[in-house]
Chain A
Amino acid sequence: MEGWPALLFPKIRSFSHHLGEQSIRARLKLTFLVVLALGFWLFTFLVFQKVLVYFHSVELFGDLLNYRLLSMMLLTFFSILLFSNLISSLSTFFLSEDLNLILSRPVPLDDIYYARLTETLVYSSWMVLLFALPVFLAYGWVYGAPWKYYAVFVGGLGPFLLIPSALGVLLAMFLVNIFPARRTKDILFLLTIFLLIGIYFLFRFLQPERLVNPDSFASLVEYMTALNAPSWPFSPSFWFAESMIPFLQPAPVQAWFYLACLWSTAGALVVMGSWVSRALFISGWTKSQEARRVYLVRLPLFNRLLQGLSRFLRPFPRALVLKDWKTFFRDTSQWSQLILLMALVVVYLYNFSVLPLDRTPMPSFFLQNLVSFLNLGLAGFVLSAVAGRFIFPAVSQEGFSFWIIRSSPVPLRTFLWSKFWTGLVPLLLLAEALIFLSNWLLKATPFLMILSAVTIFFMTFGIVGLAVGLGAIYPRFRLENAARMAWGFGGAIFMILSMIFIGVLVALEAWPVYILFMAGFQQSSLSVFQWIGVCGAFSGIAGLIGTATLLPMKVGLRNLQEMDF
């Protein structure tokens, strides 16, 4: 390898070593990820196929809706790509540790630019590519597109991904010369999260479920037509859409002009980027080094609040809990996750407020209580997702600093249980808030209100036990970004076990709750056998919760005790 591709050699080799790991665990992990990715592709393909076929069947404006949808999706992809490239380029061009090594060698600046641009492109684009591919395939499939559609897709995808990359790098070059790189990265990261949440809310509040009701079509078409933004003729997403849409129509028109627009713009931006990089890269990199000293924004009130809240704890857990809280709230990447979590909760509750319970043939009283009971499973799923992101990585978040705990006189049992309680308290608050608000929106009976509150209370113990315990069984102390933990092998195992736990718990509770609910409704009493059955089911639930809480903690503790660090 020569020239700029040689600079990618360490990354490529590291990746191939990673793929080539021979251990059974590594192979299992790879197989699991491949199956997961294929499953996701298939799922996305089938969902889009259904939606597109449905629209396609609507006379007059069905196809128009599909084309609009394509334009909107491409605009969304483009916006996400632009932001994610901007953030990635701050890391790859200015904050990456290996830059010290590269910049001390006689490497031409252009080589660094092209290599880092490629890295940025790959880091930022693979996720969008993963999501977009089945969507475009679904379009081709539904419209029976000719091979030219796929050729244009492949030919246009390159520049469509390259344009936001080159633009992102260009913007980063200017930004870093004005602001410190680390601060810029944090701000942009938060902005990206807001952008994603905005898009999510936009789609959610459009209420796509209204599509099942033909009465609401007129307003939706009005809305779609009013969205002029995707049609802006100087946007790369417009060019890409206009390159492909002609091949979805019965009489294809010439699309090559827009393809040429994409390629020429991508080429021009890449070349302009190299000029700007020659002029601004070194000064920007120097500034990013100077900006390493980040001073703490002091919040004495917040620190005093934490001190006060933890006052009643014993010294060992108090030290651990205070440390965990402080490190959590000072990490800006955690804030963005918290914002995402809040968005998830708002949308979750919003869903209950728009449920058309009054339009179903079933008695609404029965349905409300049925949904309220099933809501236990849904809330459990939300709690599992939150626990997977925030509680499962708690042990690994100690990182290389875990030596401090291991060489201290704090028993590992105390350490692990402090992680449990630190995770449990906020998750319990979230769980009870979710259940109370959703039941209130559903107008559930007091019986189900109390039952749900009690069940979710103990279910949370099980979820946290599984999260902390499995986090200790599959710790990854070398991982820089704890958010990635949730997507790893251990994270997937946690999610699967957590789902099984919630499913079995809800299933075990369903029968006795039905019996008790109906007895209350019909004002009748239970027979002895029914009481025995109810008691048996509740004993099973208690056993299940106890096992889910204590067993993973026990195995996790043993793993930590036996582990060499």
Chain B
Amino acid sequence: MIELEGLTKKFGSFYAVRDLSLKVSPGEILGFLGPNGAGKTTTIRMMAGLMKPTSGRILLDGKDVFGRPDEAKAILGYIPDRPYLYEKLTGGEFLEFIAGLHQLGKEDGWEKRSQGLLEYFDLLPWRRELIESYSHGMRQRLIIIAALLHRPKVLIVDEPVVGLDPQGVRLVKSLFRDLVDDGMTIFLSTHILGIAEELCPRIGIIHEGQLLALGSMSDLREQAQSRDERLEPIFLKLTQEEEPRTESFGVP
């Protein structure tokens, strides 16, 4: 469902992403991990059509994101890490706008679906308020609703739980599981290793723009030559980062 072929992005002489290739099957959720500045967000922004790759291709359900952008984006849902929205629209109007962008009519049942999603995320009482009065978590929830409104085949998610309260995190995790069960393909980038460990049967690790490892937990364990059951030490070993220092910063 998702194919990245030799994806490269250069800023001047700096490689943000270098020759990245991977595939995600339909109905799969892939975790995409990496340290800060590894190239996760650049990859995701290219997948969402916000940045043009220097070379390589991105195919969503066989449609090239830059060759046939309208068709590729019609099946894509994108949840960015920062919830920038139109402040002067109400939550309900924003969803109506998104429905318009996807050419959804009343007959497509988007209103009923938006009602259901707003209810699921506890935003129904807020749908007539301007977005400028929403908290960070509420904006994040609204973006998730907007990304799912047109029933996309592919969902690309950048840090899905930033700004969400524990209840919100639980809702998102449960929702992602349900969506994958329904056949949606999810590409999930996160810093929170626990979420990746819990939700993703396969994980890709990117470091300095290059894919270091891709596979199940046991594949990663094997590649890192580690016996540890937890993802954190495996991740740190693969990215060759030292274990965080645990000594106190107190009196020298």
Q: Is the CB of B84 within 8 A of A399?
A: yes
Q: How large is the interface on A (under 10, 10 to 19, 20 to 34, 35 or more residues)?
A: 20 to 34
Contact A326 to B85, CB < 8 A, known contacts A315-B103, A406-B49: no
In the bound complex, residues from chain A placing their C-beta under 8 Å from that of B87 are: 327
Contact A564 to B133, CB < 8 A, known contacts A327-B88, A408-B73, A410-B101: no
Of all chain B residues, which has the CB nearest A561? Answer: B52
In the bound complex, residues from chain B placing their C-beta under 8 Å from that of A399 are: 84
Q: Is the CB of A562 within 8 A of B52?
A: yes
Contact A401 to B86, CB < 8 A, known contacts A293-B133, A407-B50, A565-B51: yes
Residue A294 is within 8 A (CB to CB) of chain B in the complex: yes
Q: How large is the interface on B (under 10, 10 to 19, 20 to 34, 35 or more residues)?
A: 35 or more
In the bound complex, residues from chain B placing their C-beta under 8 Å from that of A315 are: 100, 103, 105
Among A295, A316, A406, A409, contact of B71 (Cβ-Cβ < 8 Å)? A409
Q: Is the CB of B90 within 8 A of A296?
A: yes
The CA of A406 and the CA of B99, in the complex, are separated in Å by 15
The CA of A323 and the CA of B86, in the complex, are separated in Å by 9
Residue A411 is within 8 A (CB to CB) of chain B in the complex: yes
The CA of A320 and the CA of B97, in the complex, are separated in Å by 7
In the bound complex, residues from chain A placing their C-beta under 8 Å from that of B105 are: 315
Most chain A CB inside 10 Å of its own CB: which residue of B88, B90, B105: B88
Q: Is the CB of B48 within 8 A of A407?
A: yes
User: Quick one: which of A256-311 are within 8 Å of B by CB?
Assistant: 292-296, 298
Most chain B CB inside 10 Å of its own CB: which residue of A298, A399, A409, A562: A409
The CA of A408 and the CA of B102, in the complex, are separated in Å by 7
Among A292, A298, A408, A411, contact of B133 (Cβ-Cβ < 8 Å)? A292
Interface readout for A401-417 with B: 1 if CB under 8 Å, 0 if not?
A: 10111111111000000
Contact A403 to B48, CB < 8 A, known contacts A295-B129, A409-B71: yes
Q: Is the CB of A316 within 8 A of B51?
A: no
The CA of A294 and the CA of B134, in the complex, are separated in Å by 10
The CA of A405 and the CA of B73, in the complex, are separated in Å by 10
Residue B80 is within 8 A (CB to CB) of chain A in the complex: yes
Q: Is the CB of B80 within 8 A of A322?
A: no
Q: Is the CB of A326 within 8 A of B89?
A: yes
Taking the closest CB of chain A, its distance from the CB of B148, in whole angstroms, is: 14
The CA of A562 and the CA of B51, in the complex, are separated in Å by 8
Q: Is the CB of B103 within 8 A of A323?
A: no
In the bound complex, residues from chain B placing their C-beta under 8 Å from that of A316 are: 100-101, 103
Of all chain A residues, which has the CB nearest B84? Answer: A400
User: Quick one: which of B175-203 are within 8 Å of A by CB?
Assistant: none
The CA of A327 and the CA of B48, in the complex, are separated in Å by 25
User: Quick one: which of B66-106 are within 8 Å of A by CB?
Assistant: 69-71, 73-74, 76, 78, 80, 82, 84-90, 93, 96-103, 105
Taking the closest CB of chain A, its distance from the CB of B90, in whole angstroms, is: 6
Residue A318 is within 8 A (CB to CB) of chain B in the complex: yes
Q: Is the CB of A409 within 8 A of B70?
A: yes
Q: Is the CB of A294 within 8 A of B100?
A: no
The CA of A409 and the CA of B73, in the complex, are separated in Å by 5
In the bound complex, residues from chain A placing their C-beta under 8 Å from that of B103 are: 315-316, 409
Residue B128 is within 8 A (CB to CB) of chain A in the complex: yes
Residue A330 is within 8 A (CB to CB) of chain B in the complex: yes
Q: Is the CB of B49 within 8 A of A407?
A: yes
Contact A409 to B101, CB < 8 A, known contacts A399-B84, A401-B85: yes
Residue A331 is within 8 A (CB to CB) of chain B in the complex: yes
Q: Is the CB of B128 within 8 A of A296?
A: yes
Q: Is the CB of B70 within 8 A of A406?
A: no
Residue B132 is within 8 A (CB to CB) of chain A in the complex: yes
Taking the closest CB of chain A, its distance from the CB of B125, in whole angstroms, is: 12
Of all chain B residues, which has the CB nearest A411? Answer: B70
The CA of A316 and the CA of B99, in the complex, are separated in Å by 9
Among B93, B102, B128, B132, contact of A294 (Cβ-Cβ < 8 Å)? B132
16 contacts between A and B (CB under 8 A): A298-B128, A319-B96, A319-B100, A322-B100, A323-B89, A330-B88, A403-B84, A404-B146, A406-B48, A406-B49, A406-B50, A408-B101, A409-B70, A409-B102, A564-B50, A565-B45
Taking A319-B101, A404-B86, A405-B101 as known contacts, 19 extra A-B pairs with beta carbons closer than 8 A to each other, sorted by chain A number, are: A293-B129, A296-B90, A296-B128, A296-B129, A298-B128, A315-B100, A315-B105, A316-B100, A319-B96, A322-B100, A323-B93, A327-B87, A401-B86, A407-B49, A407-B50, A408-B98, A409-B73, A409-B103, A565-B51
Residues of B within 8 A of A (CB): 45, 48-52, 69-71, 73-74, 76, 78, 80, 82, 84-90, 93, 96-103, 105, 128-130, 132-133, 146
